[in-house]
Amino acid sequence: MRCCGWRTAGWPAAAATPSCSPSPATAGSSPGGWRPAVSETWLDDSARTWRDDRVVAPRVPAELVPPHRGRVGERLRAWQRRHRLRAGRADAYFHSSRAPERGLPVAPASAVTGFVGELLSHRRARVAWLLTLNIAAAVAGLVVPRLLGSLVDRVAAGQTTLATINALVLAVAVVVVVQAVLTFGARFSSTVLGQDVLASARENVVRTVLSLPLSRVESASSGDLVTRVTRDVSAMSNSVQHALPQAVIAAATTVLTIVALCVNNLLLAVPSLLALVLVSFPVRAYLRRAPRGYITEGGTYSRINTTLTETVEGSRTVEALGLRGQRIAAGDDDVAESAQAERYTMSLRNLMFGWIDLAYNTPLVAVLLLGMVGYGQGWVSLGEITTATLYVQALVEPVDRLIANVDRLQVGIASTTRLLGIRQVPQDRTPGDDRPQGVDLVGRDLRFAYREGHDVLHGVSLTLQPGERLAVVGPSGSGKSTLGRLLAGINGPRTGSVTVGGVELTTLPLDLLRTEVALVTQEHHVFVGTVRDNIVLAREDSPDEVVVRALQAVDAWDWVQRLDAGLDTMLGSGHTSLTPAQAQQVALARLVVADPHTLVLDEATSLIDPHTARDVEGSMAGLLANRAVVAIAHRLHTAHDADRIAVVIDGRVVELGSHDELVARDGEYAALWRAWTS
Ligand SMILES: Nc1ncnc2c1ncn2[C@@H]1O[C@H](COP(=O)(O)OP(=O)(O)O)[C@@H](O)[C@H]1O
Ligand SMILES: [Mg+2]
């Protein structure tokens, strides 16, 4: 029974004829030759690739749900427990996000300084101009209280005339206008600089995303990638454009106000200095915890997007299997988890601002009390008290702005570390200088594992003759697609090598690799653009004759001619939509135009009806004469028409030969062929 087990795993139903006859076939790669039974260990290995033995904890544990009743003290203690638990969850997420098992990592905060520094280093003159304008505007703002203070002193001393008052009022008006102009200039230049930096950052992100190795992009969730390049880019840009300059301005204003306070009267500056020291404690506590909180928040947004994208992409399956309830529940779970992350950062902000609000109001009262005593003792003048009061009040606004913008910066920094995480994805290949001498594709002793310790290929060797058609057949999950990906250089093998013209595929630069070997799978994408644009992607200068010949070869020219504007018809989302079979034909035509010397077709005609598929394969073969083709097939006519056939079962090539040879051998392929044709 065991030896037939694989057939039911995904082989066409008609093929499930019992045929367990051991046959002494010379399997191309299995060192032990034919094995009469598929070992349970192999099956176990493949099946376990997907199994996840970890116990899944509930996404939001009951301890995080607030009690509805209870005395104030109890509720406060419950809140403290929840806050600690949320902090623990944020810490755990933060640590795992550094080097996640799957998906995209998050970069350390130190990388942000380097990144922003690099962005700003090309714009030093403008940064200097921006700072000068801001500092000048802040200084101008400090002159007014000083002028008003001296006015009070003069009035108190009885030294004023109408002319001096007029002169002082005029000076105040001039200073206010100058300050307004400087502030306008500062804001204007910070916006220009911010937009410029944002454009560079976006270009940088797009370049990074485009250079990600395909095998790694596939292991990341698209929802996460999309969240990083949309929400995180805009959070980062918001920070660079608004929060960073605002924080710099607010910090400069705060420092200058303090200096002015000290210059005005040291005694009256003491309350504000003490208040600032007090404020620094909650701010520091906040800064220690907030980055992890915001990174966790970002992670939960990614998860929401991943579930949403999956639901939308799989909407037909959801509909067909009545999975609406499950998808909604998955979305609810994501939102609940995200709400927990938000509650944590909200609590951190509330704790910080609560203390700060207290610290704001005390200095003013203290200055007035100190002023009263000091005036009585003759240590301070009325003018100094006026100036100090105005400064203390003026200090609230920049300190408030500084803290609010430091908070916004934390969001920006967290987003930037998520963005820079994309850059940290290690390359899966290092291009070398060797260039192929010839076109022969040789795979030797190929082993490959998606998860460590679970090989899905067990030492496959295959040599492709130039110009030959090799069909690869076998049950679902036996490793055919994986073999195709290795032969096309998408993934590198764990052991062994795939070489073209004597050079390892994974050491070829990607653009060169694609002119050597190309892979077409069942999955393909129709880009927004004309039919022509979609076909000439790999060779943009191809003339229309080449495009038409390619379309004819894939049996698509008839329907393309019938489209509104023929080759100029717009395709892709929002335009004419193609059936899956037509999209597959477009993908094949693209490949014909790209014209690599070796093609790997992974069930590339599976969506086209069997009759047409056979025609398409025949006419493509004519056009691709002298090209080597590896055709992974689930229809046996493809195997019948091929020069050689490799039968792959559970990660090994168990039979290799021409159709006639394999039928004569009366092994697995022969049994299958009989079932297919009966
Ligand atoms: N991206 C992946 N991550 C983990 N396991 C995978 C992945 N793709 C395929 N596998 C596993 O590898 C084995 C071989 O799969 P595949 O090469 O797709 O087989 P086939 O094309 O013959 O159906 C299967 O057990 C499958 O579950
Ligand atoms: Mg497959």
Pairing of strands 441-451, 570-571: unpaired
Burial (CB count <10 Å: 0-12, 13-18, 19+), residue 101:
exposed
Last residue of a domain, one of 392, 422, 452: 422
Does residue 303 lie within any of the structural domains?
yes
Pick from 35-39, 136-140, 242-246, 459-463: least confident: 35-39
Question: How many CB atoms neighbour CB 63 within 10 A?
Answer: 10
561 lines ligand 1 (CB under 6 A): no
Residue 370 CA from chain centroid, whole number: 57
Beta bridge partners of 443: 462, 498
Does residue 398 lie within any of the structural domains?
yes
Q: Which residues contact 145 (CB under 8 A, 6 or more apart)?
A: 260, 386, 387, 390, 391, 394
| 545 shares a domain with 614 | yes
Output the CA 484–ligand 1 centroid distance in Å. Answer: 11
450 lines ligand 1 (CB under 6 A): yes
Question: Could you read off the pLDDT of 313-365 as tens digits, one per residue?
Answer: 889 899 999 999 999 999 999 999 999 999 999 999 999 988 888 777 788 88
Name the residue of 11, 44, 49 to mutate for ligand 1: max ligand atoms within 8 A of Cβ: 49
Question: How many CB atoms neighbour CB 476 within 10 A?
Answer: 11
Does residue 45 lie within any of the structural domains?
no
Does residue 74 lie within any of the structural domains?
no
| 253 shares a domain with 335 | yes
| 509 shares a domain with 380 | no
651 lines ligand 1 (CB under 6 A): no
pLDDT band at 54 (very low <50, low <70, confident <90, very high): low
Q: What is the predicted pLDDT for the residue at 639?
A: 87
pLDDT band at 19 (very low <50, low <70, confident <90, very high): very low
Mean pLDDT of 176-181: 92
Look at ligand 1, atom 17, and give the residue with the nearest C-alpha. 479
- Print the domain residue range for 276: 107-422
Does residue 334 lie within any of the structural domains?
yes
| 456 shares a domain with 318 | no
Does residue 427 lie within any of the structural domains?
no
606 lines ligand 1 (CB under 6 A): no
Residue 4 reports pLDDT greater than 70: no
Output the CA 477–ligand 1 centroid distance in Å. Answer: 5
What distances in angstroms separate CA 388 from CA 175, 266, 392, one per listed residue? 19, 10, 6
CATH at 128: 1.20.1560.10
Beta bridge partners of 454: 451
CATH at 574: 3.40.50.300
Residue of higher predicted confidence among 58 and 470? 470
Output the CA 603–ligand 1 centroid distance in Å. Answer: 14
| 446 shares a domain with 407 | no
Amino acid at 166: N
| 406 shares a domain with 445 | no
Residue 259 reports pLDDT greater than 60: yes
Average pLDDT, the chain: 84
Look at ligand 1, atom 1, and give the residue with the nearest C-alpha. 450
| 669 shares a domain with 614 | yes
pTM: 0.70
480 lines ligand 1 (CB under 6 A): yes
| 143 shares a domain with 268 | yes
Does residue 70 lie within any of the structural domains?
no
pLDDT band at 75 (very low <50, low <70, confident <90, very high): confident
| Token digits of residue 457 | 């290929």
Residue 464 reports pLDDT greater than 80: yes
Mean pLDDT of 132-150: 85
Does residue 389 lie within any of the structural domains?
yes
| 517 shares a domain with 465 | yes
How many domains, in total, are found in the chain?
2
| 401 shares a domain with 464 | no
pLDDT band at 442 (very low <50, low <70, confident <90, very high): very high
